[in-house]
């Protein structure tokens, strides 16, 4: 990644009195895989549509390779969009679908076919070139849509929830296809999704949006472990958030009183905290330790098992302290199997001060 290829500068999008995107400032580097996430209505798809040229900003400027593109038509931008519905032409064969963009550019038939076959081979569906779209599986249709978008060799590819209609096993496979393609081609992907697992698995950076605003931009691990706000902490991962008051501070070490009891945090990077100040802290569900007996040292509290959810190799537990505070905990199934759990079982829960993250003010 060498230079900002896409720039949103003070971009606002209104629909009547409704503000869909509010004062967006965002740069996307050349060759970057950027994922935009958020709940329904947060503005992520509107952002993608403005970049594609399907919507015009109400204010601000969008630049591609330094050129203002606010007024450019979609066909003039070289930013093809792969839709959630794929939008393949049912009256055309597979190869005719892939050739479509080249035909619109006036490419000769023989060259169109050659280029289309190259991409069908690259997507491992060349054998289906003469089939009709309704003769393909969901995964095969997805590959046709990608081949149609990429056959013109665009500098930027936009993707709007492209995997949402696929079965879980196909989603994982297509994640691998997309990641490999993006790295091999070195082009910029801007990917809108509601799926945390998709975004975190593929993206170089993730944008979290809420109510038309950007809440945080960062690498997946940074967003997961260091959420910039309570909204992000609630949106990503499986976080436990506690509110309390600062009791003592010393060189990045903080002691606080919460409903969970006294909690210590180390390596705190937020602005200086004062005794008595309100504070919010996060402990991720995978950062707790559990045991059937109390540990010999360290912070630990007794909790009762309220529910247990088996999710493949991971088990999600909902525990409750004696004072009624709920804790979400995730562990590998092999760890849980050793504890012989059932509803009402008492477990001792502990955590490291390093695992406590203080939310920024």
Q: What is the DSSP letter of 360?
A: P
With a CB cutoff of 8 Å and minimum separation 6, the contacts of 183 are: none
Q: Which candidate, 202, 192, 262, places its Cα nearest to that of 33?
A: 202
Given a cut of 50, is residue 184 above it in pLDDT? yes
pLDDT, residue 288, reads 93
CATH number at residue 27: 3.40.50.300
Indicate the residue among 212, 230, 248 that finishes a domain. Answer: 230
pLDDT band at 202 (very low <50, low <70, confident <90, very high): very high
Which three-class secondary structure state does DSSP give residue 237?
A: coil
Q: Do residues 85 and 211 share a domain?
A: yes
Indicate the residue among 176, 209, 230 that finishes a domain. Answer: 230
Would you tell me the crossing angle of helices 138-150 and 168-185 to the nearest 10 degrees? 20
With a CB cutoff of 8 Å and minimum separation 6, the contacts of 256 are: 244, 245, 246, 247, 262, 263, 264, 265, 279, 281
Given a cut of 60, is residue 1 above it in pLDDT? no
Whether the CB-CB separation of 16 and 198 falls below 8 Å is answered with no
pLDDT band at 171 (very low <50, low <70, confident <90, very high): confident
Question: Residues 108, 78, 93, CA angle at the centre, nearest 5°?
Answer: 50
pLDDT tens for 8-58 read 999 999 999 999 999 999 999 999 999 999 988 999 999 999 999 999 999
pLDDT band at 97 (very low <50, low <70, confident <90, very high): very high
Q: Domain total for the chain?
A: 2
Give mean pLDDT, residues 158-184: 84
Q: Do residues 220 and 257 share a domain?
A: no
Given a cut of 80, is residue 297 above it in pLDDT? no
Q: Do residues 93 and 71 share a domain?
A: yes
Distance CA 35, CA 47 (A): 12
Which secondary-structure segment (H or E) carries 122? helix 109-122
What percentage of the chain exceeds 90 in pLDDT?
Answer: 60
Q: Do residues 330 and 205 share a domain?
A: no
Given a cut of 90, is residue 161 above it in pLDDT? no
Domain of 55, in residue numbers: 4-230
Q: Do residues 325 and 348 share a domain?
A: yes
Q: Do residues 137 and 53 share a domain?
A: yes
pLDDT tens for 109-138 read 999 999 999 999 988 899 999 999 999 988
CATH number at residue 291: 2.40.50.100
Q: Do residues 57 and 12 share a domain?
A: yes
Q: 110 - beta bridge partners?
A: none
pLDDT tens for 303-320 read 999 999 887 788 999 999
Q: Do residues 224 and 249 share a domain?
A: no
Q: Which of 65-74, 135-144, 336-345 has the highest mean pLDDT?
A: 65-74
pLDDT band at 60 (very low <50, low <70, confident <90, very high): very high
Indicate the residue among 188, 204, 230 that finishes a domain. Answer: 230
Q: Do residues 351 and 315 share a domain?
A: yes
Q: Do residues 17 and 38 share a domain?
A: yes
Q: Do residues 77 and 135 share a domain?
A: yes
Which of the residue ranges 67-71, 72-76, 189-193 would you say has the lowest mean pLDDT? Answer: 72-76
Q: Which residues of 191-220 are buried (b: 16+ CB within 10 A; e: fewer)?
A: bbbeebebbbbbbbbbbbbbebbbbbbbeb
With a CB cutoff of 8 Å and minimum separation 6, the contacts of 358 are: 254, 265, 268, 269, 270, 273, 279, 280, 281, 282
pLDDT, residue 131, reads 93
pLDDT tens for 206-239 read 999 999 999 999 999 999 999 999 999 999 978 9
Which three-class secondary structure state does DSSP give residue 311?
A: strand
pLDDT, residue 299, reads 65
Distance CA 120, CA 115 (A): 9
Q: Do residues 190 and 281 share a domain?
A: no
């Amino acid at each position: 990644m060498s230079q900002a290829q896409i720039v949103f500068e003070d971009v606002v999008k209104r629909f009547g009195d409704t503000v869909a995107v509010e004062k967006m400032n965002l740069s996307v580097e050349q060759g970057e895989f950027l994922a935009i996430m958020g709940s329904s209505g947060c503005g992520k798809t509107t952002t993608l549509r403005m970049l594609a040229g399907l919507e015009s900003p109400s204010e601000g400027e969008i630049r591609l390779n330094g050129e203002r593109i606010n007024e450019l038509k979609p066909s003039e931008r070289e930013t093809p969009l792969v839709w959630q519905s794929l939008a393949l032409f049912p009256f055309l064969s597979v190869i005719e679908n892939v050739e479509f963009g080249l035909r619109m550019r006036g490419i000769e038939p023989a060259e169109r076919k050659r280029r289309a076959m190259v991409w069908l081979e690259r997507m491992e569906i060349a054998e289906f070139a003469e089939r009709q779209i309704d003769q393909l599986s969901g995964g095969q249709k997805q590959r046709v849509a990608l081949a149609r978008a990429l056959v013109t060799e665009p500098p930027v590819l936009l993707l709007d929830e492209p995997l949402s209609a696929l079965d879980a096993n196909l989603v994982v496979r297509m994640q691998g296809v997309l990641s490999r393609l993006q790295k091999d081609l070195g082009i910029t992907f801007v990917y809108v999704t509601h799926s945390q697992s998709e975004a975190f698995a593929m993206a170089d950076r993730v944008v979290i949006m809420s109510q038309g605003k950007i809440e945080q931009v960062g690498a997946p691990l940074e967003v997961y472990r260091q959420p910039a706000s309570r909204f992000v902490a609630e949106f990503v991962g499986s976080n436990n958030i506690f509110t309390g008051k600062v009791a003592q501070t010393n060189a990045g070490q903080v002691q606080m009183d919460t409903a969970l009891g006294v909690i210590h945090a180390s390596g705190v990077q937020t602005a200086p905290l004062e005794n008595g100040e309100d504070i919010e802290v996060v402990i991720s569900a995978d950062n707790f330790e559990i045991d059937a007996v109390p540990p010999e040292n360290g912070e630990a509290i007794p909790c009762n098992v309220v529910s247990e959810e088996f999710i493949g190799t991971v088990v999600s537990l909902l525990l409750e302290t004696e004072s009624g505070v709920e804790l979400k905990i995730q562990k590998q199934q092999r760890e849980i199997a050793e504890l012989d759990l059932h509803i009402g079982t008492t477990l001792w829960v502990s955590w490291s001060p390093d695992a406590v993250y203080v939310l920024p003010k």
